[in-house]
Chains A and B, each alone.
Chain A
Amino acid sequence: MANNAVNATTSAEPSTRSRRAAEFWFYFSENKGAVIGLFVFLLLVVVALLAPLIAPHDPTQQYRDSILVPPFWQEGGSASFLLGSDQVGRDILSRLIYGAQYSLFIGVIVTLLALVGGIVIGVIAGYARGWVDTVIMRVMDIILAFPSLLLALVLVAVLGPGLTNAMIAIALVLQPHFVRLTRAAVMAEKTRDYVTAAKVAGAGHFRLMFVTILPNCMAPLIVQATLSFSNAILDAAALGFLGMGAQPPTPEWGTMLAEAREFILRAWWVVTFPGLAILVTVLAINLVGDGLRDALDPKLKRS
């Protein structure tokens, strides 16, 4: 193991950036689960990107004479519907493949919204302190006082059901975690010598906040971002399941489950596969998150 680390560092470019990357990969790849998770996640990205090429059918095409066809290995199954068809004769495999696009899109957009919003608010709170900080943190406490899914559900009820509103609601609910983390990190970094040096050198508030301090607070934020990514996918699927997220016939995995609910005792495949897709995606991202935490967070690094 130690030899690998030496090789990794010496074979890399002598610049600090690539040395850091090599060190990161060394710690990350020590966690086998994280590597598997990353592999599965990349596979999902490829599936999502190539969906129009690899999906055997159109995800909304209804084959009226092939309703609730079981998967191919079961009696009555057919090779043209590998994972079976749903209650209106749509190919489940094709819907799952297109569903990957939605889930990853939801994860990326929600995490970006929550991350950017949370960082800006958190940096301001931690840097300004005083009443600005107090007001911001009380507002965050208020958001955190509600169960996240309930608040998202009510927000969607206010804004109207649909994927866009669901994403806005989830981002709003996830964002206080980023605010708290950023604020804590900024407060810890603010009194360091390099910040004072930059201040003496004449750096303005904006530069101090976002250029000097922020890059040194990124590690916990990246770990939180992976957590939010999986949470966003889960919550969006839950809202879809409750009928408040993506609306039919969108092939979103949670919405697929909601549509299939009444057939669960007659056709197990219509509920099993969409849920499995959610589980595998979320699990892969959480595995990556665990690996990132081990690799990035020096406090939790195995000593």
Chain B
Amino acid sequence: MVRFLLGRLAVLIPTFIGVSIIAFSFIRLLPGDPVALLSGERVMSPERHAQISAQLGFDRPIVVQYLDYIWGILQGDFGTSIVTKRPILDQFSALFPATLELATCAIIFAVVLGIPAGIFAAIKRGSFFDQTIMGTALVGYSMPIFWWGLLLIIFFSGTLQWTPVSGRISLLYFFPPVTGFMLIDSLLSGQAGAFKSAASHLILPTIVLGTIPLAVIARQTRSAMLEVLSEDYVRTARAKGLSPFRVVGIHALRNAMIPVITTIGLQVGVMLAGAILTETIFSWPGIGKWMVDSVFRRDYPVIQGGLLLIAAIIMIVNLIVDLLYGLINPRIRH
């Protein structure tokens, strides 16, 4: 297992260096003067330009600049936003819990509905039920989620007036963040109605962000189950006279879950891409909306730092998924 982990890290570290080179060089590839872009000052006297240039270290060789950048990152210095003048890591850690809460709810939504749907579709293969589920899954998989979000807003927030249109909680409630998870913080605050408000704000974004993972997980579970159900050991289990529930639930499901867990892990990247759209539609104050806003405000240090942080998160999650996969499926370790 240790060798497996080291092997994974041997691939991961060069990838991370490559990602950091991309984040580092992107600001230097932009049309225009990087000093002006990074400082956010449009009109500068030559003296001021030289001063900022020296302050940012642009007068040194590019390799030294890169090493300096990496050294800063290792110490948690991702630069400073042009717009808010605040350190990027601070902003990221303030906004990330919102995205994490949304993504966690979305993945729970997708797993809780997707795995049973896939299992039943596989057991009842070819039935009306199977065809309906797989048809729905394909529609979900093809869904432009930004439109799906707008439709849900029209229906549930507009026509039925059941859910709010945007934000994380009603402005009536205010309490300091403890965990950063609004659902938990609202309970901790003890304010009446706060939890309900937080939950009602979360429902539509969860459905929108969870739709594609739900479709993918349902499809993957179905095909993994079909493969396993035709195996000899399942036939043996049936022949032994075990109840269908035991055969499907214990013998088949455990092995079918191996590819499904990988699929769930791969959804993390999909979710972070989806968060960009979902958070924009629902004005959800997370890192997806932060990145889009920064692109519009031309806040290049934030784009640079955010890109690196998001890529790092995805890489770490993929590493964890790989390790889990190695744990449940010993064959992969060799």
**CB-based contact A146/B144 at 8 Å:** no
**CB-based contact A138/B151 at 8 Å:** no
**CB-based contact A287/B138 at 8 Å:** yes
Among candidates B29, B157, B307, residue contacting A150 with C-beta atoms closer than 8 Å: B307
Q: Cβ of A142: which chain B residues have Cβ within 8 Å of it?
A: 15, 18-19, 22
Cβ-closest chain B residue relative to A274: B147
Interface size class of A (residues with CB under 8 A): 35 or more
Q: Cβ of B146: which chain A residues have Cβ within 8 Å of it?
A: 237-238, 241, 254, 257
**CB-based contact B26/A283 at 8 Å:** no
A-B contact pairs, 7 of them (CB 8 A): A146-B307, A147-B273, A147-B310, A242-B276, A261-B150, A283-B142, A286-B141
Q: Cβ of A139: which chain B residues have Cβ within 8 Å of it?
A: 18
Q: Cβ of B310: which chain A residues have Cβ within 8 Å of it?
A: 146-147, 150
Cβ-closest chain B residue relative to A290: B138
**CB-based contact B150/A271 at 8 Å:** yes
**CB-based contact A157/B11 at 8 Å:** no
B30 interface residue (CB < 8 Å to A): yes
Among candidates A147, A241, A265, residue contacting B154 with C-beta atoms closer than 8 Å: A265
A109 interface residue (CB < 8 Å to B): no
**CB-based contact B295/A234 at 8 Å:** no
Interface residue ranges, B against A (CB under 8 Å): 11, 14-16, 18-19, 22, 26, 29-31, 135, 138-139, 141-144, 146-148, 150-151, 153-154, 157-158, 269-270, 272-274, 276-277, 280, 291-292, 295-296, 298, 303, 307, 310-311, 314-315
Which residues of chain A from 33 to 72 have any CB-CB distance to chain B below 8 Å in the complex? 33
Q: Cβ of B292: which chain A residues have Cβ within 8 Å of it?
A: 153, 242
**CB-based contact B273/A275 at 8 Å:** no
Query: Cα distance A271–B26 when bound, in Å?
Result: 35
Cβ-closest chain B residue relative to A257: B147
Which residues of chain A from 265 to 290 have any CB-CB distance to chain B below 8 Å in the complex? 265, 268, 271-272, 274-276, 278-279, 282-283, 286-287, 290
Given contacts A149-B277, A158-B30, A264-B150, 4 further A-B contacts (CB under 8 A): A147-B272, A234-B142, A242-B280, A264-B158
A6 interface residue (CB < 8 Å to B): no
Q: Cβ of A286: which chain B residues have Cβ within 8 Å of it?
A: 138, 141-142
Cβ-closest chain A residue relative to B223: A300
**CB-based contact A257/B150 at 8 Å:** yes
**CB-based contact A271/B15 at 8 Å:** no
Q: Cβ of B26: which chain A residues have Cβ within 8 Å of it?
A: 154, 158
Query: Cα distance A302–B124 when bound, in Å?
Result: 17
Query: Cα distance A287–B142 when bound, in Å?
Result: 10
A145 interface residue (CB < 8 Å to B): yes
Q: Cβ of B150: which chain A residues have Cβ within 8 Å of it?
A: 257, 261, 264, 271, 275
A30 interface residue (CB < 8 Å to B): no
User: How near does chain A come to B59, taking the closest CB pair, in angstroms?
Assistant: 24
Contacts A146-B314, A150-B310 given; does A283 touch B139 at CB 8 Å: yes
Q: Cβ of A243: which chain B residues have Cβ within 8 Å of it?
A: 296
User: How near does chain A come to B219, taking the closest CB pair, in angstroms?
Assistant: 10
User: How near does chain A come to B270, taking the closest CB pair, in angstroms?
Assistant: 7
Main secondary structure of the interface of B (DSSP, over half): helix
Q: Cβ of B273: which chain A residues have Cβ within 8 Å of it?
A: 147-150
Query: Cα distance A282–B147 when bound, in Å?
Result: 13
A244 interface residue (CB < 8 Å to B): yes
User: How near does chain A come to B216, taking the closest CB pair, in angstroms?
Assistant: 12
Among candidates A149, A268, A278, residue contacting B276 with C-beta atoms closer than 8 Å: A149
Contacts A141-B18, A145-B311, A272-B151 given; does A282 touch B276 at CB 8 Å: no
A230 interface residue (CB < 8 Å to B): yes
Q: Cβ of B303: which chain A residues have Cβ within 8 Å of it?
A: 154, 157
Query: Cα distance A279–B277 when bound, in Å?
Result: 16
Query: Cα distance A147–B311 when bound, in Å?
Result: 8
Q: Cβ of B142: which chain A residues have Cβ within 8 Å of it?
A: 230, 234, 279, 282-283, 286
**CB-based contact A145/B15 at 8 Å:** yes
Query: Cα distance A276–B150 when bound, in Å?
Result: 12
**CB-based contact A271/B151 at 8 Å:** yes
Among candidates A157, A268, A271, A283, residue contacting B147 with C-beta atoms closer than 8 Å: A271
Enumerate the 7 nearest inter-chain pairs by beta-carbon distance, A residue then B residue, closest first: A275-B147, A147-B273, A142-B18, A149-B273, A282-B142, A283-B142, A147-B272
User: How near does chain A come to B195, taking the closest CB pair, in angstroms?
Assistant: 27
**Contact mask A19-33 → B, CB, 8 Å, 1/0?**
000000000000001
Contacts A275-B147, A286-B138 given; does A150 touch B276 at CB 8 Å: yes
**CB-based contact B295/A244 at 8 Å:** yes
Q: Cβ of A275: which chain B residues have Cβ within 8 Å of it?
A: 144, 147-148, 150-151
**CB-based contact A146/B19 at 8 Å:** yes
Q: Cβ of A276: which chain B residues have Cβ within 8 Å of it?
A: 147
Which residues of chain A from 227 to 251 have any CB-CB distance to chain B below 8 Å in the complex? 230, 234, 237-238, 241-244
User: How near does chain A come to B148, taking the closest CB pair, in angstroms?
Assistant: 8
